[in-house]
Chains A and B, each alone.
Chain A
Amino acid sequence: MEASAVGGMERRGSVYERIRCWLLTQPAAHDLDHFKGEPIGKKVEGVRMLDRFNVKKSFVGVLYLTATHLIFVDPESKKETWILHMHILSAEKMPLTTMGSPLQIRCKTFLSVTFVLPKERDCQEIYTTLQQLSKPVQLEDLYCFDYTASTEEVQKHVGWNFFDLQAEFQRMRVPNDAWSLTLLNKDYELCDTYPRYLFVPAAASTTVLMGSSSFRSKGRLPVLSYLHTNKAAICRCSQPLSGFSARCMEDEQMLNCILKANPNSKFMYVVDTRPKINAMANRAAGKGYENENFYENIKFQFIGIENIHIMRNSLQKLLEACEQKGPTMNNFLSAIEASGWLRHIKAVLDTSNFIVQAVQEGVSVVVHCSDGWDRTAQVCSLASLFLDPFHRTLQGFQALIEREWLAFGHKFVDRCGFLAGDQKEVSPIFTQFLECVWQLTNQYPCTFQFNERFLLALHDHVQSCQFGTFIGNCEKDRLDLRLHERTYSLWGYIANHMNEYMNPLYAAEENTDVLVPNLAPQNIRFWRGMYCRFESGVHPREVMSDMLLALCDHSSSLEDHIRLLTKRIDSLKAKIDSKKKSGETKVEEKIEDCVDNKTSYDKEISEQDEDVFKDEKVDSLVTVEQLASELKSVAVEWKTLRNVRECNCSTPFDHFSRKCHCWRCGEVFCTRCIDKHTALPGHDSQRAVPVCRTCYKELRRTFSVDSA
């Protein structure tokens, strides 16, 4: 089948073949119908979408299968459900019922829906097509290689150069006299799952590095992950190939070099994040853990984060807990408990906290698990997040993911199950990391620059494969695939949507310290916003963070407008004054009032503004028409977000859909209707701000009138 697609032998073929063919020969795809710009591979009418909680209540509509999405349109409630093929975790055909043939679809975004198709044949066809589309066989078939952003969006290259590993270490003042850059891995020869630039103790010789690498699983030798200001370092690696008794002088020297790189401590910790029993079992396979007797001045510590299989099963149970039909409070709580999910989250947080405590006391830490790309990635990145305020900003958080997850080779392809194949490798490791961050944001509401929506967006886009950022298992893979040329970067997309992801309560001046969260079990919460995201009924009906975000945007718009108003008032005032001085008009009381008003506002004008204002006076070309359009272009009042159930385009809003205001008319729209950004005449800064399509057209019209 793959061969037929590549060979271009289309003919009638299966739906899958038609879709693949269309993807390969995009411009020539005239023969397919389109739904909102998406070519339709298959259309089924009379499909019923079941409501999980209310079997009697179901929607009947049309199901479209396109090259990239499964789309259900319910004409009555105007609701559209778009499911990205890449988001589909599993599709399952259920036993035939009187209503038809049910197809249950579970998504990696934790959406779970059941469609009932009238004909069994249609169901079978869609089922097999989805099987193929949701799990391509090779990386080149992933969505990102076909995805093109609309022209208004970002350019392809944007975002790929935002983060640079060397610059990131530069920020930590590395290289320095204790730590240096090694080019041994320039061609990925030392370790192919590591980045090409590695930072190691300056004292470690090439022999030591190569020897240590050969003594570590997958060659993942201990390298610098984070250097704290007190010279204590966090280093990461994989397990040593110690077996029951093997030892390696170079590896021992390597660890000693790491210890010596920190002049402030006589010992360091080696943290094995696995449960002791797992580490012991590994010894039989010639792997294992460091023997405290062989390594000088190390303190060895087991922590006990479970492995990927236990995590996968735990998430499965957690989702089952959320999907119970009409559970009682106790059913729900005991199911959550039985899943063990929160226990695992706490274990990851506790381990990170342990490392942070050590680093704060000036003790360096070497962290590993088995291969050092799952648990190690989790705890190293969290430890950096605890320690370094920079990583709690939007920029810094992306840099952290780039460093600890992408550069150091977290296997996103395998863990997220992008391709068909072994599903035993799939595990929610990155999801757990995001959840840990979310747990921290609960305790530190003003310390993180980003909001919950950002974490959710990250989660979804890691799974979506829409961007090339998370494709490949390591840096080398990404280079080989030439992703930076062929695909878009998620960071470019995020840079364009920054205002959606801001935490309005963020106070930069409070984001300075090391985080000391309280990790008592009472403080570890169930993340409803992630795992019950699509249960529209269970969320707060008024979303405070969205309201605050709108409030901040509104304030910012008004500030801009006020600057312009002040400017205009001053310039008019000056003109009237000069006119008066030339003795042509009488002084009126009214003007005196204005003078009083003006002086009070003058105080608030900044120096800079006054400079601008002087310039303005030179070319003072303000017309009445211009003033009118300036006033018209800024909404002083914005519509409240409360009880806004749908956008003007009648797309219904649910809990997590972003509701945007048009800065010109102050009405509320969905993100799709507010894709235009333009400068408003009423703003001083002339920056581009979001406006609705109607306002955009009107602004365009006045511009053209003006220029004519």
Chain B
Amino acid sequence: MAQKHAQSRLLITGNLNNKQFQGHEGLREFLILSKCGFELWSLEKWSLSSSLKLRELTISHHLILSARKEGVEELWILHQNIDAVERKPNGMVGGTIVVKCKDFRIIQLDLNSGYEKFVNVANSLEWLSTLDNMTLLYPFFYRPVYNMLEDGWSAFRTESEFSKLLVPGSNEEWRISYVNKNFTVCRSYPSAVVVPKNIDDETLIAASKFRHGGRFPVLSYKHEGGSVLLRASQPLAGPGVKRCKEDEKLVNSVLGPGKKGYIVDTRSQSLAQSAKARGGGVEPEAHYPLWKRVQRPIDRQAVYLDSLAKLVDACNDVSCSIDKWMSRLESSSWLSHVKDSLNCACVVAQCIDQEGASVLLHGSEGLDSTLLVTSLCQIILNPDCRTVRGLEALVEREWLQAGHPFSLRHKKSCYSVGGSSVVPGGNKSGVIKGQQACTFLLFLDCVFQIHCQFPCSFEFNTHLLILLFEHSYSSQFGTFLGNCEADRERLELSKKTVSLWSHLNRPEVLPSLMNPMYEPNSKVIWPSVAPMSLILWRELFLRYSSASADGVSTRLKAASENTLHLNIKDKELRSKAAKLRRQLMELEKEAIEIGVLESPTSALLAESADATTGGTEVVAKNNSYP
């Protein structure tokens, strides 16, 4: 997992200068009863590492359980990964601490060396897992031991991402505007946004005043046929007929002559109506006559986490009856959210691809369901997004630069909502009720569903999706820190931390993310959203549940390795056959020259030449996919 430092031998590594907790001595006597297949260890033998001389302000970032024996797997958990800490005190003896992680893992620590130590450990864990000062987080201390070939921080800049659209001097109708370079027009937007060429920055500023959070319509994706996908936040139309000419001008400027577009709203009718009362609402039809309004409701992000919590709880309970499991799966509504999201994305993609119409998409704030749908749309429509780099670019464009507030949304996860879990630091700033959500995980699950239906159209395997899920919650990389580009600049992440993309794109890592069955598919892929087509993402949700502990995952891994071998073997055979054919032809020529073989009639010779070159031609064709 992470790099092992000298400090890492500490159990709970933490800031020892902080007087708030001093209980680390007690950690020597952990008894760990782990639910993750770890053995029962007596930790008497543990000793604190000799390198206790931590520099001031140095904070270590892992909870490490180790038997200090060779060959026994160590368990490393980033404090940032800890979602909830539950205490079950047991009189003066000590007690049990249940550590619940954002990656759905649950670890139980049995401490039997006194109540005080038990409390100290629990306090330490809570304190460490809810650090508010982002600069104390692990990514700021993580230093890679390998050489970076490419800096992920600069790999997906707006300029390069839209370079096809923005060739200077071309007839393209788009430009990059730096109107937001100080993040004053829209706090959550990046400094560079793509807007219609004939719209000047003043219009953008005016339009931004008419949109929630200043998120004026910008380009998200341009399809082959020329139709485009715009995204924004809800207009601040309010209950009256407030209008904004600049916004109308901006929106209309993307429509070709005589063309109509769609405004797709991810909220339900009633939600959109009630938003009016709070100053939000919908584009008044009278002022947007060229646009047809469509409602494709997806639940608000606020309910996702509750849904996820129910799902994960159900997944963890392997002893319940199958009826109970089915009804819990159903009542979690998680798959319904997946279905709704995919459904909405399909509708938008249909407008764009089949009707050739442009679409403006928004929900209320434009930070969650909007991004979910625009990114899924691109998976469906754009073959590039189904490659490793393409997916990275998509996440960068549609989630990070588009201002999905990762730090806020992922501050807490499913184990902290509802239930009996004590929310550590629940009242501290940063944890705002209703602001935690798992929209990004929902996106990944939807991609997983499409992947299942088109297992050969994706360059990456589903393991990459799991990695993205993990790193978006806790990571040694800085990519998912902060809520928007403004935050990331303020924190100087690109200087002080390493990008996840730098890591994933290394030649050592990349092969493990590749799908052996990949055959580039340049077409639009339409997933089925029928209920029987959608399945539970077992590789993710059952990963740490005992439902998959019995080697299921190892066997599945073996299956994918077999697949890989079959593919490699076939490729080798193909090139070998082609090579041997060429060699045989040369020998044949040779043999005819020296008279070992009889010279054939000219017609036959031509035919045989056809046969060989025919073969190689196809090889060439096959290897040069666009």
How many angstroms between the C-alpha atoms of A554 and B321 in the bound complex?
A: 45
**Which single member of A329, A510, A521, A568 contacts B335 (CB below 8 Å)?**
A329
Q: Given A327, A505, A568, A627, which contacts B608 in the complex, CB threshold below 8 Å?
A: A627
Cα A158 to Cα B220 in complex, Å, equals: 64
* Cβ of B453 under 8 Å from chain A: yes
Question: Is the pair A624, B590 in contact by a Cβ cutoff of 8 Å?
Answer: no
Contact with B along A257-275 (1 / 0, CB 8 A): 0000000000000000000
A636 engages B618 (CB within 8 Å): yes
Q: Judging by beta carbons under 8 Å apart, are B563 and A548 in contact?
A: yes
A601 touches B (CB below 8 Å): yes
Number of interface residues of A (CB under 8 A): 87
Whether the Cβ atoms of A340 and B587 lie closer than 8 Å is: no
Contact partner of B531 (CB less than 8 A), chosen from A332, A524, A588, A623, is A332
A634 / chain B contacts, CB cutoff of 8 Å: 577
**B512 close to chain A: CB less than 8 A:** no
Rounded to whole Å, the gap between the CB of B577 and the closest CB of chain A is: 5
Interface string of A320-355 (1 = CB under 8 A from B): 001000011111111011001011001000000000
A579, B594: Cβ atoms closer than 8 Å:
yes
Contact B327 A334 (CB under 8 A): yes
A597 touches B600 (CB 8 A): no
> Does B134 interact with chain A (Cβ within 8 Å)?
no
- A523–B555 Cα distance when bound, in Å, is 14
One of A79-87, A293-301, A430-438, A558-566 at the interface: A558-566
- Among B137-145, B245-253, B395-403, B564-572, the one that faces the other chain is B564-572
Scoring B338, B538, B562 by chain A CB atoms within 10 A of each residue's CB, the highest score goes to B562
Closest chain-B Cβ to A93's Cβ sits at a distance in Å of 29
- In the complex, identify which listed stretch (B60-68, B106-114, B487-495, B543-551) lies at the interface while the others stay far away: B543-551
Question: Do the beta carbons of B558 and A528 come within 8 Å of each other?
Answer: no
Q: Which residues of A contact B72 (CB under 8 A)?
A: none
Cβ-defined contact, B330 with A334, below 8 A: yes
Taken residue by residue from 316 to 332, chain B's Cβ proximity to chain A (1 for < 8 Å, 0 otherwise) reads as 00101111111101100
Q: How far is the CA of A643 from the CA of B453 in the complex (A)?
A: 14
Chain B residues closer than 8 Å to A623, beta-carbon distance: 597-598, 600
Contact A331 B454 (CB under 8 A): no
Tell whether, in the assembled complex, residue B559 and residue A522 are in contact, meaning their CB atoms are under 8 Å apart. no
Judge whether B592 and A642 touch: CB under 8 Å. no
- In the complex, what distance in Å separates the CA atom of A301 from the CA atom of B600? 81
0/1 string, B436-476, CB within 8 A of A gives 1: 00000000000000001111110000000000000000000
Which residues in A have their C-beta under 8 angstroms from that of B610? 632
- B586 at the binding interface (Cβ < 8 Å): yes
Report A54-70 CB contacts with B as 1/0, cut-off 8 Å. Answer: 00000000000000000
Does residue A94 face the partner (Cβ distance < 8 Å to B)? Answer: no
In contact, B584 and A569 (Cβ under 8 angstroms):
yes
Q: Closest CB of chain B to A58's CB: distance in Å?
A: 19
Q: Which of B320, B551, B574 contacts A637 (CB 8 A)?
A: B574
- A525–B591 Cα distance when bound, in Å, is 63
Given A551-B567, A565-B577, A590–B586 Cβ distance below 8 Å?
A: yes
Q: Is A540 interfacial (CB 8 A cutoff)?
A: yes
**A354 CA to B430 CA in the complex, in Å?**
52
Q: How far is the CA of A588 from the CA of B590 in the complex (A)?
A: 10
Identify which of B335, B549, B573 gathers the most chain A CB atoms within 10 Å of its CB. Answer: B573
- Among residues of A, the one whose C-beta sits closest to the C-beta of B578 is A636
Of the listed stretches A189-197, A489-497, A570-578, A686-694, name the one at the interface; the rest are far from the partner chain.
A570-578
The stretch of A224-232, A418-426, A443-451, A459-467 that contacts the partner chain: A443-451
Contact B591 A555 (CB under 8 A): no
What residue of chain B has the Cβ atom nearest to residue A637's Cβ? B618
Stretch at the interface among A18-26, A198-206, A385-393, A531-539: A531-539
B521 within 8 A of A: yes
A542 & B574 in contact (Cβ 8 Å cutoff)? no
Is B180 interfacial (CB 8 A cutoff)?
A: no
Instruction: Please judge, given known A-B contacts A445-B555, A627-B608, whether A540 and B453 are in contact too, CB under 8 Å.
Output: yes
**Which residues of chain B have C-beta atoms less than 8 A from A77's C-beta?**
none
User: How far is it, in angstroms, between the C-alpha of A293 and the C-alpha of B174 when the chains are bound?
Assistant: 89
Question: B552 contacts A443, CB within 8 Å?
Answer: yes
Q: Which listed residue (B552, B580, B600) contacts A566, Cβ 8 A?
A: B580
Chain A neighbourhood of B563, CB < 8 A: 505, 548
Contact B325 A538, beta carbon cutoff 8 Å: no
Contact with A along B510-545 (1 / 0, CB 8 A): 000000010101010111101111111010001001
Which of chain B's residues 174-208 have a Cβ closer than 8 Å to chain A?
none
| Complex contacts, A640 vs chain B, CB 8 Å | 519
Asked if B335 contacts A585 (CB within 8 A), the reply is: no
Given the complex of chains A and B, what is the CA–CA distance between A558 and B578 in angstroms? 10
A246 within 8 Å of B by Cβ? Answer: no
Shortest distance in angstroms between B266's beta carbon and chain A's nearest beta carbon? Answer: 17
- Are A337's CB and B330's CB within 8 A? yes
B127 to chain A, nearest CB (A): 35
Q: Are B573 and A562 in contact (CB under 8 A)?
A: yes
- Tell whether, in the assembled complex, residue A330 and residue B608 are in contact, meaning their CB atoms are under 8 Å apart: no
Are A558 and B570 interface neighbours, CB within 8 A?
Answer: yes
A118 within 8 A of B: no
Q: Is B322 touching A524 in the complex (CB atoms < 8 A)? A: yes
Q: Does A516 contact B (CB under 8 A)?
A: yes
Cα A46 to Cα B72 in complex, Å, equals: 73
Which interface residue of B457, B547, B567, B594 has the most chain A CB atoms within 10 A? B594
Known A445-B559, A537-B528; judge A329-B534 contact (CB<8 A): yes
Give chain A residues whose Cβ lies under 8 Å from the Cβ of B56.
Answer: none
With A522-B545, A572-B588 as contacts: A540 and B597 at CB distance below 8 Å = no
CA distance A558 to B580 in the complex (A): 11
How far is B315's CA from A623's CA once the two chains are assembled, in angstroms? 68
Docked-complex contact A590 and B555, CB < 8 angstroms: no
A541 touches B530 (CB 8 A): no
- Smallest CB gap from B335: residue in A: A329
A522 CB contact (under 8 Å) in B456, B517, B526, B547: B547
Contact for B607 among A518, A555, A632, CB less than 8 A? A632
Q: B residues within 8 A CB of A183?
A: none
CB pair A541 B532 closer than 8 Å:
no
| Residue of B whose beta carbon sits closest to that of A558 | B573
**Considering the chains assembled together, what is the distance between the CA atoms of A521 and B322 in angstroms?**
5
Q: Which residues of B contact A559 (CB under 8 A)?
A: 573
Q: Chain A contacts of B548 at CB under 8 A? A: 518, 523
Which residues, 359 to 376 on B, are CB-close (under 8 Å) to A? none
**For the complex, what is the distance from the CA of A346 to the CA of B325, rounded to whole Å?**
12
Report the separation of the CA atoms of residues A579 and B591 in the bound assembly, to the nearest whole angstrom: 9
For B453, list chain A residues within 8 Å (CB): 539-542
Q: A329-B335, A521-B321, A637-B618 are in contact. Are A576 and B580 (CB under 8 A)?
A: no
Residues of chain B with a CB closer than 8 A to A525's CB: 535
Q: Does A504 contact B (CB under 8 A)?
A: yes
**A522 adjacent to B538 (CB under 8 Å):** yes
A544 within 8 Å of B by Cβ? yes
CB of A99 within 8 Å of the partner chain:
no
Does chain A have a CB within 8 A of B583?
yes
- In the complex, B268 has a CB within 8 A of chain A: no
Q: Does A526 count as interface, using CB distance less than 8 angstroms?
A: yes
B420 within 8 A of A: no
A607 interfacial contact with B, CB 8 Å: no
**Which 5 pairs across A and B sit closest by C-beta, in order of nearness?**
A628-B608, A332-B531, A337-B326, A521-B325, A624-B600
Give me 21 A-to-B residue pairs in the complex whose CB atoms sit less than 8 angstroms apart, sorted by A's number.
A328-B336, A334-B326, A342-B326, A446-B562, A504-B566, A505-B562, A518-B549, A520-B547, A522-B314, A522-B315, A535-B530, A548-B563, A551-B566, A558-B573, A566-B580, A624-B597, A624-B598, A624-B600, A627-B588, A636-B574, A642-B519
Add 13 more A-B contacts to A542-B456, A555-B570 (CB < 8 A): A330-B336, A334-B326, A516-B551, A518-B548, A518-B550, A523-B538, A541-B526, A558-B573, A558-B577, A573-B587, A576-B587, A632-B611, A640-B519
B interface residues (Cβ-Cβ under 8 A, vs A): 314-315, 318, 320-327, 329-330, 333, 335-336, 338-339, 452-457, 517, 519, 521, 523, 525-528, 530-536, 538, 542, 545-552, 555-556, 558-559, 562-563, 566-567, 569-570, 573-574, 576-578, 580-581, 583-584, 586-588, 590-592, 594-600, 604-605, 607-608, 610-612, 615, 618-619, 622
